[in-house]
Amino acid sequence: MLQLLLLPLCGAALLSVGEARTIRGKYVDVTVGAQTCNVLKYGAVGDGKTDDSKAIQKALDACGKGGGGTVVLTAPKTYLVFSVAITGSNTELHIPAGATLLASDDIKAWGKDAKTKGSAVIVAEKVSHVAITGGGTVDGQGLPWWIAMDKPGNKNMFRPHTVDFGHVESGFIGGVLFTNGPNHILELGCDNWCAFRRRRSCRRSCSCRRSCPCPCRRSCPCPCRRSCR
């Protein structure tokens, strides 16, 4: 299992500046618009079974077109998605403690390449001042992808990244736990960005196919009491 925990250890603070808000990191400041867009008001269900991609995308688009703001995933809920995109500048995706953004593990539905559903669970392209914050979780449900990749002929199969930033000016990621990435967790193409301290655990699975919580390359006990391969 891959885990990446981004902790606000750089002295990040949320300050009010007129109608906008500024998230301050050690290396970058990100200005977020004044709007607050709750994904439930845009049709999200948050039951972990219903595809909430379109509802969350509507909230992101609304905030982006209105000059930016904060898109909030209400907790405690689990939001099943394929890919969502931060389409407007000055936009924050806030995943609070108790909320989970759960990537679909339906490999066939994702399609064979990024043209079908998107290159990553969260995408931002050619925007500025964007942030992913909160104490919640982004779970990529990577295990089915890892198993599929190990099959003959699938070495180069498409697997979505967790976060893709491309041509982003001033990006901020803090406080969110990224786990079980099917592929790379963070692909950050930014002029300025601040992603806080990482915590990883090994990707290998034990013979029971459960994820191994070991943070190093040594063998460790799995929940089934067997050793990692």
Q: Average pLDDT per run of 10 along the chain, which is 229 residues long?
A: 47 47 88 95 98 97 94 97 97 97 96 80 96 96 95 93 94 94 92 58 41 41 39
Tokens 């909430």: give the residue.
Answer: 52
Show the tokens assigned to 93.
């995706």
pTM of the model: 0.80
Residue 27 confidence (pLDDT) = 82
Q: Residue ranges per domain, the chain? A: 3-195
Secondary structure of residue 199 in the 3-state scheme: coil
Class for the domain spanning 3-195: mainly beta
- How do 35-38 and 100-103 pair as beta strands? unpaired
Residue 26 confidence (pLDDT) = 80
Residue 93 confidence (pLDDT) = 98
Residue 38 confidence (pLDDT) = 96
Handedness of CA 105, 158, 91, 191 (dihedral sign): positive
